[in-house]
Structure 1
Amino acid sequence: MTNSKLFADLSLLLVALVWGATFVIVQNAIDLLPPITFNGIRFLIATMILGGWLLLFERKQLALANRKIFLSGFIIGVWLFFGYATQTIGLLYTSSSKAGFITGLSVILVPLLSLLLLKLRPTKNAIIGVLVATVGLYLLTMTDISALNQGDALVFLCAIAFALQIVFTGKYSSQFPTLFLTVIQIGTVAVLSLIYSFLFEDWTLAFQPAIILNSSVIIALLITSVFATALAFFAQTNFQKFTTPTRVALIFATEPVFAAITGFIWAHDRLSASAIMGCVLILAGMIFAELPSASIFYKQKKKQENTLGT
């Protein structure tokens, strides 16, 4: 693996760690503030941060503004918003454990959609890694088994949306300036989230001092806006240039692992034996997908033999 790919994978793993680690504080915040309203404010702050940086230090990127970059950023942003919205609504009707597993199915959907939309064929090791990680997701998240319901269907739409966000980020990230594309993407999520909250949620709660100035809400907004949104999506957009959508999906499948670990440390959640085994399998699947395939070893061996024969 080249240094750029290794650094990209480690950076994306850090993104998954941030998302998993912030799960607990987000849960505390949305007990007070409607979830899409929270996301709207979170993404708006992140847009202002990155947008301000763009205007102050990277203004030359604005010279590249055209219809294509706005459309590309909008497409990525729409799928990201759709993923958050369907997941949030779905959680009203299903358990968080089932939602976690179904959302994690994006790890299977990404290679399928990459093949259909980008003509990218995953390696055999990547396919095996995806299957192993999926079994791990099941063991980690499926603490209850019940009949499927409308919430599960909505969360499955969320998995499709998140998978498409990864696929289209992979498609467009190498075509446009990273910062400009990221600002358009998260700005789209901010606008759509605020429109949704205005139409379907009690958005006026965001203007009540007792709620918006609550320490849980302020801490969650600051941490998620800066680290889990601005820096995280900038990193994804930037580093997907050096890796494949399937590998990104596998790396992001570690998010519930980090969520489980931080929940154990901070919220004193208990980890069952199956959950621990699930964490191990997810990590094993990610590592296995990174291993060179037998065909690569064969080609390298033949190359060495030909070199020695000359």
Structure 2
Amino acid sequence: MSHKLRAHLMLTAVVCVWGATFVVIKSALADISPLLFNLIRMTIASACLLAIYGRRLRRLRWATLGAGALTGLCLAAGYQFQTAGLRLTTPSKSAFLTGLVVVLVPLLAGIPGLRPPGASLPKWNAWLGVVAAFVGIVLLTAPQGSGWSILMLREINPGDLLTLACALGFSLHVIALAHFSPRFDFEQLAILQIVFCTLAMGVTTPLLEKCWVHWTPRVVIALVVAAVLATAAAFTVQAWAQQILPATHTALILALEPVFAWVTAFLVLRTGLHGREIVGALLILAGIGVTELMPSRMQPTMPEMPSI
């Protein structure tokens, strides 16, 4: 199995975990405030990574420390804006706005100052995949009867603005990893980004919400699953995978998260999928397929995008 195929499969598995944990975390948030959940989750994840890979920090360079700090701050911004915004907007609109990562990453990668070294502009099939995935996200997450109003962002509120900032934060995190993963030890980068994310959350959480918690079994289970699988293991895999995959491809794979969330909700909660939602999920899969499986030789006039 090639490194690129392994990276695709492992990153898809990570997104599957992120989507599947939605039901677990959603249930736990009845007993704990969202930002406090994030802070505890990241604290446990930091402890796990330090216990496993802590020895890798002995030969830490200042440049690696800076890379970890920047990626960690982008990650913290994404999570904090998302959870703060979710209190003031609907879950469907929050999912839609977060899904704008699929569009923002190629746009940001097209800016010379943000474009990863050695990477060319996304090819036509990447843009086609982005459009298909974006339309799929709209169909999958938009409330029934919303029509085009969700695309026009009518009745925008402060929660929507916070969630837009969340999408930007997650997009910058993908771009930052595309810059740093090929240059630094992915285990060091995985540890540092989570540690700095935890520190940022420790500072901002008391400013953004009044923390509270009722310790119940579902809170403990959700914290363990989210911290160990969906954070410590998942972001280590992402840091490794982005040594190989372009940022645009990573963003498209991340678009699978709502698909896995819907499938998990169907299996666990018996929440049915409507026709429009099934079409949306298929469009997301088609968008990824167009980008990943379309032979690059079909457009010989454009330079090849190297694995980064």
> What is the TM-score normalised by the length of structure 2?
0.89
Mapped to 2, the partners of 1:73 and 1:269 lie a distance apart of 39
The residue that corresponds to 1:18 in the other structure is: 17
Native 8 Å contact 2:133 2:252 kept in 1: yes
Matches within 5 A, 1:37-56: 37-55=36-54
Taking only aligned residues, the RMSD between alpha carbons, in angstroms, comes to: 1.7
Mapped to 2, the partners of 1:25 and 1:48 lie a distance apart of 22
1:179 to 187, 190, 201: 187
The residue that corresponds to 2:305 in the other structure is: none
Identity percentage of aligned residues: 37
Native 8 Å contact 1:97 1:141 kept in 2: yes
2:95 to 86, 95, 100: 100
Native 8 Å contact 1:125 1:291 kept in 2: no
Q: Residue 294 of structure 2: SS of its match in structure 1?
A: coil
Which runs of 5 or more structure 2 residues have no equivalent in the other structure? 302-308
Structure 1 position 147, deviation (Å):
2.1
The residue that corresponds to 2:122 in the other structure is: 122
Which of structures 1 and 2 has the bigger CA Rg?
Answer: 1
Matches within 5 A, 1:1-310: 3-55=2-54, 59=55, 61-116=56-111, 117-118=114-115, 120=119, 121-143=121-143, 144=146, 145=149, 147-203=155-211, 205-206=212-213, 211-212=214-215, 214-293=216-295, 295-296=297-298
Q: Residues 78 and 298 from structure 1, CA distance in 2 versus in 1: closer, same or farther, beyond 3 angstroms?
A: closer
**Amino acid paired to 2:205:** S
Mapped to 2, the partners of 1:74 and 1:294 lie a distance apart of 35
Mapped to 2, the partners of 1:53 and 1:150 lie a distance apart of 40
Structure 1 position 294, deviation (Å):
5.9
Structure 1 position 296, deviation (Å):
4.6
Displacement over 4 Å in runs of 4+: 296-299
**Amino acid paired to 1:11:** M
Structure 1 position 196, deviation (Å):
2.4
**Amino acid paired to 2:198:** A
**Amino acid paired to 1:105:** L
> What is the TM-score normalised by the length of structure 1?
0.89
Mapped to 1, the partners of 2:240 and 2:29 lie a distance apart of 30
Which runs of 5 or more structure 1 residues have no equivalent in the other structure? 300-310
Native 8 Å contact 2:94 2:160 kept in 1: yes
Structure 1 position 88, deviation (Å):
1.1
Mapped to 2, the partners of 1:188 and 1:122 lie a distance apart of 31
> Deviations 1:99-150 (Å, cap 9, x if unpaired)?
1111101101101111211163111111100100000000000014452222
Mapped to 2, the partners of 1:193 and 1:30 lie a distance apart of 17
Native 8 Å contact 2:99 2:137 kept in 1: yes
Mapped to 2, the partners of 1:160 and 1:282 lie a distance apart of 20
Mapped to 1, the partners of 2:210 and 2:89 lie a distance apart of 22
Greater helix share, 1 or 2?
1
Structure 1 position 271, deviation (Å):
1.5
